[in-house]
Structure 1
Amino acid sequence: MPTPQSAPGFTGRRIRAAVVGTGAIGRGSHLPALAALADEVEVVAAVDVDAAAAEEFCRAGGVPHAYTDLDRMLAEQRPDLVTICTPPTLHREQTVAALRAGAWVWCEKPPVPTLADYAAVEAEEGAGAGPYASIVFQHRFGSGSRQVRRLLAEGALGRPLVVHCQTTWHRDTAYYAVPWRGRWATEGGGPAMGHGIHQMDLMLDLLGPWSEVRAMAGRLVHDVETEDVSTALVRFANGALATVVNSVLSPDEVSRIRVDCERATVELTHLYGHRNADWRITPAPDVPGEEAARWRDFGPDVPSSHVEQLRELIASMRAGERPRGSGADGRTSLELIAALYKSAFTGATVLAGEIGPGDPFFTSMHGDAPGWAPAVAREVTA
């Protein structure tokens, strides 16, 4: 267990950050987010197994130190925050190393390939003031999701009844040419794990805990180990019923969440990020116009983004508080995905809390099954 970093250690200075993995997500999302908060954070190092890539990342981003060895970087630079932008199979080892060095962690989704890996990460977290490991779930953040979360929590829209959660994207054969994609051991799953996790996480953040899942999955197009489409029926603890669709087979790409409540329908339609204009609230006929107008007042437009989540994470670090998207709060989406896969492979309804140590789906998202169960066999057409 690491020695906790007390919050006062960050007082009066910028947070020292390091980026691990200098590929597209590190260059395109993490470094710009860190740069946008330069008054709060300074990037002191970057790590990549490719020395030339690390050096180019540092040169282009004004980062002083390039490394190919994570442990050496942690020992020499002693960052306060490590952002992890590597393939999922590396996340557990790298997160644990950073936590043991006393650094907080902000890790790209999926956080780790299995629930067992997540438990191992939780075991390395500090207590009280941290350090903690949080997941990049940027769709939770921004003015639109904040307003809708508040309305639902306060009961202003009435009881949630019917929910649709859709991540229907398109990925071609070239996408799966990357060696770690489409494999259970290295990606952890298909579009449910690597794509739909964002919308499912936002759905859970808005609606609270789920109670049971029934699902199907299949490989309809791509020659990969994992699924390329899945569907699920989810019952929430509050009684609401949801349909969830995750696909990489959909030319007309969209990300969508719709919640039909007693007094209004809330719908979010976007692709990779949302603004106020992407949310629509349709009141029931008996709702006064003035009340509906207040619901639609989202305030200044703050898009969902890595920047907004990082801003809140830094505030949590300075306060010495567990951030959103970590611990039990971060585990909820991974638990739902594990349940989706278990139901798809076994044909059974899976209950919340069912998958724990001793369950094959705790240590592998496909339950160590030798192949697809009949319910999810790859479709073959003449």
Structure 2
Amino acid sequence: MSKIFNVAVVGCGIGRSHIVEGYLPNADKFKVKLLCDLNAERMGAVADEFAITRRIASFDEALAMDDIDIIDICTPPGLHFPMVMAALKAGKHVICEKPLVGSLAQVDAVMEQEKASKGMLMPVFQYRFGNGIEQAKAIIDAGIAGKPFMGTVETLWRRDAPYYAVPWRGKWATELGGVLMGHAIHPHDLFTYLMGDIERVFGRVATRVNPIEVEDTISASLQMKNGALASLTATLGSADDTTRIRLAFENVTFESDHAAYNPGEKLWKIQPRNPETAAKIDALLKDWQHVPSRFQTQMARFHDALTGTGPLPVTSADSRRSLELVTAFYHSSATNEDVVLPIGPGHPLYESWVPAQFRAA
């Protein structure tokens, strides 16, 4: 029988999805014993729905509970850094929603704290999991795809005024960014997960759709470290919600299922360039085992990591790569220059990409 880890879910918005998609299907691995939220009405509704009796408003109280193994942080982005640091210092295992933190300086501080903490940290990138993505990744990792040539990512979603009625959305201090941070961050992570590290970024950001502080439309041209070229586009002004990823390799072209919020659930279009490649792909995938999508597989693999039977499915280094792209986007748009990665402490936006007038005093 596998070890069951006791979880405190902090924040009952996206936290409810963690319960439904992640913890309930993995009931032999996790038990949600505590909810923590400042909104008592929302917390009560979620707690009643899942028969969770322990309900508190104090994050510090959650950290002090000896029977809680995992702190699952599902709060607005501006709160992530202090909460992650406090949970690691308290010796807890930590799950944290995207974005992990709000700057490269903060993610580097988190990575240093990880070295001194007994707990394990897993950032959330649930879009990585599912049959479509896993098959593409397997073909690439097996060397069948060959040299990468080109990739495109389109994150065309719709967000209207009611979305921004939630007080923390659309504001630099609490959301830490716009479409780059809350929406396209997922497809962009999928892109680098499959295509590798970025070397240069020329990006543009704009606010064109809604009267908000942060950006809602972006475009970039990338050069990858492996020599491939790529383009990234995103807007929150689309008539519908579509996520499209297309990757051209020497021997194979991949195209995602266009589902906006679960691009890995269904099989992707896999187009081999010749019969020899098709035969290799068929042989690789002939005994394919179904991979549940999103939180179900990410949480199951986190359990593997906690019990020493598998690697951590998403790491703080993955989050750093994601936030490095965000930093490069903002800097390139402001300076009209290419940004060379990696970005270190000497960079003007290393401490924060938030415009000075919106930073806390």
Q: TM-score, normalised by structure 1?
A: 0.87
Question: Which residue of the other structure, out of 160, 170, 173, is the alignment partner of 1:182?
Answer: 170
Tell me the residue number matched to 2:81: 92
Q: Judge conservation of contact 2:5–2:31 (CA < 8 Å) in 1.
A: yes
Deviation of 1:59 (Å): 2.2
Q: Judge conservation of contact 1:78–1:101 (CA < 8 Å) in 2.
A: no
1:362-381 → structure 2 map (5 Å cutoff): 362-366=350-354, 368=356
187 and 297 in structure 1: CA distance in 2 versus 1, 3 angstrom threshold: farther
Tell me the residue number matched to 1:351: 340
Distance 1:174 1:29 in 2: 23
Question: Which residue of the other structure, out of 310, 313, 318, is the alignment partner of 1:324?
Answer: 313
1:102-121 → structure 2 map (5 Å cutoff): 102-121=91-110
Residues 309-359 of structure 1 deviation map (CA, whole Å, 9 limit, x = unaligned): 0000111011187623222233111111111111111111001123x3243
Task: Find out whether 1:21 has 2:11 as its counterpart.
Answer: yes
Q: Judge conservation of contact 1:15–1:40 (CA < 8 Å) in 2.
A: yes
Q: Judge conservation of contact 1:184–1:365 (CA < 8 Å) in 2.
A: no
What SS is found at the alignment partner of 1:131? coil
Q: Judge conservation of contact 1:106–1:133 (CA < 8 Å) in 2.
A: yes
Question: Which residue of the other structure, out of 208, 211, 222, is the alignment partner of 1:234?
Answer: 222
Residues 171-227 of structure 1 deviation map (CA, whole Å, 9 limit, x = unaligned): 001111222111122111111111001011111111111101001111112111111
Task: Find out whether 1:256 has 2:268 as its counterpart.
Answer: no
292 and 74 in structure 1: CA distance in 2 versus 1, 3 angstrom threshold: closer
Deviation of 1:93 (Å): 1.4
Q: Which amino acid aligns with 2:9?
A: V
Deviation of 1:56 (Å): 3.1
Distance 2:115 2:247 in 1: 37
Distance 1:253 1:297 in 2: 33
Tell me the residue number matched to 2:190: 202
Question: Which residue of the other structure, out of 54, 57, 60, is the alignment partner of 1:71?
Answer: 60
Tell me the residue number matched to 1:161: 149
Deviation of 1:34 (Å): 0.9
Identity %: 34
Structure 2: runs of 5+ lacking an equivalent: none
Task: Find out whether 1:340 has 2:329 as its counterpart.
Answer: yes
Tell me the residue number matched to 1:284: 273
Q: Which amino acid aligns with 1:20?
A: V
Deviation of 1:150 (Å): 2.1
194 and 289 in structure 1: CA distance in 2 versus 1, 3 angstrom threshold: closer
Residues 245-285 of structure 1 deviation map (CA, whole Å, 9 limit, x = unaligned): 12101113211111101112111122111356440011114
Distance 1:343 1:284 in 2: 36
Distance 1:187 1:258 in 2: 29
Q: Judge conservation of contact 2:130–2:266 (CA < 8 Å) in 1.
A: no
Q: Judge conservation of contact 2:22–2:298 (CA < 8 Å) in 1.
A: no
Q: Judge conservation of contact 2:206–2:216 (CA < 8 Å) in 1.
A: yes
Distance 1:165 1:212 in 2: 16
Distance 1:12 1:276 in 2: 26
Q: Judge conservation of contact 1:231–1:243 (CA < 8 Å) in 2.
A: yes
Deviation of 1:31 (Å): 4.5
Q: Judge conservation of contact 2:154–2:233 (CA < 8 Å) in 1.
A: yes
Deviation of 1:305 (Å): 1.1
Distance 2:65 2:272 in 1: 57
Q: Which amino acid aligns with 2:184?
A: G
278 and 298 in structure 1: CA distance in 2 versus 1, 3 angstrom threshold: farther
272 and 297 in structure 1: CA distance in 2 versus 1, 3 angstrom threshold: farther
Tell me the residue number matched to 2:349: 361
255 and 297 in structure 1: CA distance in 2 versus 1, 3 angstrom threshold: farther
Q: Which amino acid aligns with 1:161?
A: F
